[in-house]
Amino acid sequence: MDLGSTARDFGRLADIAAVLAHYGFGDVAQRLGLAKAVKGASDLLHLSRAERVRRALQDLGPTFVKLGQVLATRVDLFPPDWIDEFEKLQDQAPPAEAAAVRAQMIEDLGAPPEEVFAAFAAEPIAAGSIAQVHRAVLADGTPVAVKVRRPDIGAVVQADLSLLARLARLAEARLPDIARFRPREVVRQFARTMRAELDLAIECHSAERVAQSFRDNPAIVVPQVFWAWTGERINVQQFVAGVPSRELAAVDAAGLDRELLARRGAQAMLKMVLDDGFFHADPHPGNLFYLPGDRIAFIDFGMTGRLSSGRRDELVALLGGLVSRDAESAVDVLREWASPLPVDAEALTADIDAFIDRYHGMPLSALRAGAMLADLTQLLREHRLALPADLALVLKVCVALESTGRELDPEFDMVGVAEPFLSAAIAERRGPAALARRGWRAASNALELLAEMPGDLRRLVRAARSGRLQLHVDLTALEAFGQLVDRAASRLTLGVVTAALIIGSSIVMTVEGGPTLFGLPFFGLAGFLGSLVGGGWLVISILRSGQKR
């Protein structure tokens, strides 16, 4: 064990406990086992709980500020007043010591920045908790932005991540009110985000992936990456000189079309989410610039989101259930996301029905995506359901999109822009090709299961013979357990008989003589028909059992 690291951890834990106590969370520190570091009560109890949490995160430093920014994406876990407070956590910090930054740049570039670039501004134009940005010009006259990671920030972040993981385990074990927020999962998501953000080359790979997706769309601009000077602690990208999206007066002065910009920005983000499954997860005004020709530039791909094909299918199934007024289908998806947490399916179905009725029949122009998402997330919180982290990012992006769109164009119709993307996604998911893929996948899984069954039975028998087979019986539910065993034994028997019929019928088909039907041995055909009936019954029985659960 590294004694220096251990001492530093204890010191940091004391700092955390002191900040918690200062903001009136001394009871939380005590329940986490940090009582010795708690000194007195807070004099800030007049602030709301959300305000005190935000201030505590701010006082705890860069890692915790970043944590608050990630929590701001969890609209499914926190009510609007908490999200508003988390969004106030700005990633701003004073510039790092110039000498340390220069020494690190010489190490990474192989020469002083004044020799590598035709011009280099030592004073940064922006400074955050992880990195700061300098203006520079390449030898060919191209203006660039040079992003430099803060010296020694990596060790600080890794130490804080280790402490956060430990605190999340303690919170989940000792604080039932916090456990429902899945602190360990939140910290895992946050750790992935932070480690990716520490590697400035990952940001550039993400930018190039998005640029490739929009290579045929000149209205969307992603800064070019200059890999010759890009690595883990530094990256060099094309400098975007455009109108910041928050400066609406400048947008008007430049003669840009606000309505067109709102529509193009929303279409670009929806394409990333629903078509590509890889998207810019932090499209706040500081990361959007408007260029001549009503073009939009996305910068800073430090935070990105990913949606797997399976997750997109689930999202489309949920949206399809809401659109088609099929509350049960929507609830099935939400229950899958909530697993293994218990869900009151009947109450959830009733609430989803009410949610659908509230918006059913309204014209698209009257719908407000932000209000709909707020109602949906409120419903999820009431049922103590937490979305997977990737989908929480999608919700946050959609809310930000509508907010930005309405700033540009008060009549912006987010639902109308999204409708063609959703319709195409639903049609693709329910099309013949998609159904064929799922059918083939299901058939392959069934054949694989059948092929592995003899081996599984052999291992089961060996375990029983060696005495290693253990049965854990819940005496309070013995009757239900007996029924479960009886059903399992019946299915296993039918499965073995079906497999035997398939094997026996295959042998009979090779034997000449005997009655025939359609030119094939009658008994072989009868055996295959019996195995088909038995297999079908087995599949239906399993499906019905799953629905009952």
Q: Are 119 and 137 in contact (CB under 8 A)?
A: yes
Least confident span in 72-86, 148-162, 222-236: 72-86
Question: How does the average pLDDT of the chain come out, rounded?
Answer: 79
Of the ranges 7-16, 76-85, 150-159, 516-525, which is most confident? 150-159
Is 5 a residue whose pLDDT tops 80? no
Token pair 């045929």 in the structure block, residue: 216
Name the β-bridge partners of 235: 147
Q: pLDDT, tens digit, for every residue of 157-178?
A: 888 888 888 888 888 887 776 7
Q: How confident is the model at residue 251 (pLDDT cuts 50, 70, 90)?
A: very high
Please, what is the end-to-end C-alpha distance for the chain in angstroms? Answer: 48
> Cα(191)–Cα(389) distance, rounded to whole angstroms?
12
287 pLDDT more than 60: yes
Among the residue ranges 1-10, 354-363, 436-445, 519-528, the one predicted with the least confidence is: 1-10
Identify whether the C-beta of residue 290 lies closer than 8 Å to the C-beta of residue 243.
yes
Q: Which residue has the tokens 């040079």?
A: 146
Tokens of 506: 């295959």
- Per-residue confidence (pLDDT) for residue 209, from 0 to 100: 96
Q: How much is the pLDDT for 47?
A: 78
By DSSP bridging, strand 131-137 and strand 126-127 are antiparallel
Angle between helices 389-408 and 309-323 (to 10 degrees): 60
Average pLDDT over residues 50-71: 84
Q: Which residues of 338-364 are buried (b: 16+ CB within 10 A; e: fewer)?
A: beeeebeeeebbebbbebbeeeeeeee
Q: Tens digits of per-residue pLDDT, 419-464? A: 787 777 777 766 676 667 666 766 777 777 777 778 778 877 777 7
| Predicted confidence band of residue 2 (pLDDT cuts 50, 70, 90) | very low
What is the rounded average pLDDT of the residues 245-268?
92
Q: Which residue has the higher pLDDT, 330 or 249?
A: 249
Beta strands in 192-340 (DSSP E): 220-221, 234-238, 243-244, 278-280, 288-291, 295-298, 304-306
- Give the strand pairing for 126-127 and 119-120: unpaired
Name the residue among 150, 120, 148, 149 with its Cα closest to residue 135: 120
Mean pLDDT computed over 136-164: 91
Task: Please state the length of the chain.
Answer: 549
Give phi and psi for 16, each to the nearest 5: -65, -45
Digit-coded pLDDT (tens) for 468-489: 767 665 554 445 555 666 666 6
Give the pLDDT score at 366: 61
Cβ atoms of 302 and 280 within 8 Å: the answer is no
Q: Which residue has the higher pLDDT, 67 or 213?
A: 213
Cβ-contact 489, 496 below 8 angstroms = no
d(CA 267, CA 427): 18
Asked if pLDDT for residue 195 goes beyond 80, the answer is yes
The predicted structure's pLDDT at residue 40: 47
Q: Active site residue: 76, 91, 160, 282, which one?
A: 282
CA distance 480 to 409: 60
Q: What pLDDT band is residue 395 in, cutting at 50, 70 and 90?
A: confident
497: number of Cβ within 10 Å = 14
* Pairing, β 131-137 against β 119-120: antiparallel
3-state helix, strand, coil in the chain (%, to 5): 65, 10, 25
Among 266-270, 284-288, 425-429, 485-489, the least confident range? 485-489
Residue type at position 363 = P
Strand ranges inside 38-130, DSSP E? 119-120, 126-127
- Tokens representing 1 are 């064990």
- pLDDT on residue 254: 93
| Higher per-residue pLDDT: 412 or 205 | 205
Confirm if 73 and 141 have CB atoms less than 8 A apart.
Answer: no
Q: What percent of the chain has a predicted confidence (pLDDT) above 90?
A: 24
The pLDDT value recorded for residue 8 is: 53
Closest CA to 424 of 312, 262, 259: 312
Under 8 Å between Cβ of 73 and 396: yes
pLDDT of res. 44: 61
Segment 64-110, tens digit of pLDDT: 888 888 788 777 778 888 888 888 886 667 889 999 999 999 999 99
Euclidean distance between CA atoms 122 and 130, whole angstroms: 18
Does the annotation mark 43 as catalytic?
A: no
> pLDDT: is 3 or 395 the higher one?
395
Model pTM?
0.67
The mean pLDDT of 131-151, rounded to a whole number, is 95
Query: Can you tell me the mean pLDDT for 382-410?
Result: 80
Q: Cα(460)–Cα(455) distance, rounded to whole angstroms? A: 9
Q: Is the pLDDT of residue 406 over 60?
A: yes
pLDDT at 278: 92
User: Is residue 4 predicted with pLDDT exceeding 50?
Assistant: no
Q: Is 412 helix (H, G, I), strand (E, B) or coil?
A: coil
Least confident of 80-94, 266-280, 325-339: 325-339
Query: With helix as H, strand as E and coil as C, how does 330-345 read?
Result: HHHHHHHHHCCCCCCH
Rounded distance between C-alpha atoms, residue 104 and residue 112, angstroms: 10
Q: Helix 389-408 vs helix 369-382: angle between axes, to the nearest 10 degrees? A: 150
With a CB cutoff of 8 Å and minimum separation 6, the contacts of 385 are 76, 334, 337, 338, 341, 343, 348
Check residues 110 and 370 and name the one with the higher pLDDT.
110
In 39-191, the DSSP E strands lie at 119-120, 126-127, 131-137, 143-149
Residue found by looking up tokens 């239900």 in the block: 480
| 185-189, 297-301, 436-440, 454-458 — most confident range | 297-301
What sign results for the dihedral spanned by CA atoms 54, 57, 61, 65? negative
The helix-helix angle for 153-174 and 62-71 (nearest 10°) equals 50
| Stronger pLDDT, 500 or 104, i.e. the higher one | 104
Upper half-sphere CA count for residue 108 (Cβ side, 13 Å) = 25
The answer to whether the peptide bond before residue 515 is cis (omega within 30 degrees of 0) is no
Query: Residue 312: which H helix or E strand, with range?
Result: helix 309-323
Q: 102 has which bridge partners?
A: none
Other CB atoms within 10 A of residue 548 CB:
6
Find residue 304's DSSP bridge partners: 280
